[in-house]
Amino acid sequence: MSYYGGGRRDPLPFGDSPYPWTLRLLAINGLIFVVQLVLMRTRFYQSFLMLFALQPATGFMRGMVWQIFTYMFLHGGFLHILFNMFVLWMFGREVEMTIGRRAFLRLYLVSGLVAGLCSLFMWKALILGASGAVLGVLAAYGVLFPDRIILAFLIIPMKVRYFVWLVAALDIFGAIQGGGSIAHLAHIGGLASGYVLMKTGWYRRSFVDLEGRRRRRDIERQRALRRRVDEILDKVNREGLGSLTREEREFLEKARRGL
């Protein structure tokens, strides 16, 4: 996360792709970075950043609310995206296999959004990067596998739980010191949201229950259809079959096939 200026399995939520979201997020971030590299050679790059990177003062607060989402798919350089995607690959695959694809995507996006909201305190910054979302995944890994030994910073053997707390402490210290070009508040927000989502079980909850909404609509349609059928059948009982209009006969036939 950088800033410039004075950073039981679930069904798939979108389609039936066999590819895990870890792999798809790696591809999406990589493709967008290629677009950035191409645009860097043009005069449109600065406008591109102004439109899609997170600018608390001159963008988000002036109606560019999409920036709270788009900023997490942009990166400030090759090492920036390399580090974020390496962490996502190392920890994301196992988190996704453990909690399921839908829950993993929710965890990733919510961590990134919370990180972005924390970044709003950096009033004059230009913020971009997936670090907040990725650190939410790291926090989830720490909750799931706290005693797993990893090589911290590729050198020091350390339990995951201690590594997560070390990263949090470094970011808190960095935020107190002023941060330089690193959005420490966003890192803290991403870590905290990943931890809270896992500890409370909120990562399992869908904020937009499309499946349940569809089910409820279908049930309502069936009930309305049956009510109409009952009304027509009551008319037949009272007045006989010959009393039905052509429209009512066609409706009964369609209802018979549908039910």
Q: At what angle do helices 101-119 and 131-144 cross, to 10 degrees?
A: 130
- Token pair of 71 as six digits: 């900023």
CA angle 14, 18, 23 (to 5 degrees): 85
- Phi, then psi, of 146 in degrees rounded to 5: -65, -30
pLDDT at position 179, please?
59
In what helix (H) or strand (E) does residue 121 lie, and over which residues does it extend? none
For the cut 50, the answer to whether the pLDDT of residue 14 exceeds it is no
Q: Read off the DSSP letter of residue 72.
A: G
pTM above threshold 0.75: no
Q: Return the structure tokens found at 230.
A: 């009952």
pLDDT above 60: residue 60:
yes
Q: What is the pLDDT of residues 197-227, one digit of tens each?
A: 998 887 776 655 555 566 777 777 888 888 8
- Which has the higher per-residue pLDDT, 45 or 212? 45
Residue 9, pLDDT > 80, answer no
Instruction: Share the mean pLDDT of the chain.
Output: 84
Over residues 142-164, the pLDDT tens digits come to 999 999 998 888 888 999 999 99
Cα distance between residue 169 and residue 167, in whole Å: 5
What's the DSSP call for residue 73? G
CA gap 118, 189 in Å, rounded: 6
Structure tokens at 52: 């899609």
Identify the weakest region by mean pLDDT among 24-33, 105-114, 183-192, 213-222.
213-222
What are 205's two structure tokens?
Answer: 């909850």
Distance CA 91, CA 139 (A): 10
CA 159 – CA 2 distance, rounded (Å): 27
Check residue 55 and give its pLDDT. Answer: 87
Residue ranges of E strands in 79-155 = 126-128, 149-152
pLDDT of 13 above 70: no
pLDDT in tens, 114-126: 999 988 877 677 8
pLDDT at 234 over 70: yes
- Top-level class of domain 2-204: mainly alpha
Which sequence spans correspond to the domains of the chain? 2-204, 210-258
> Predicted confidence band at 87 (pLDDT cuts at 50, 70, 90)?
very high
| DSSP H/E element including 4 | strand 2-4
Alpha-carbon gap, residue 254 to 126, rounded angstroms? 59
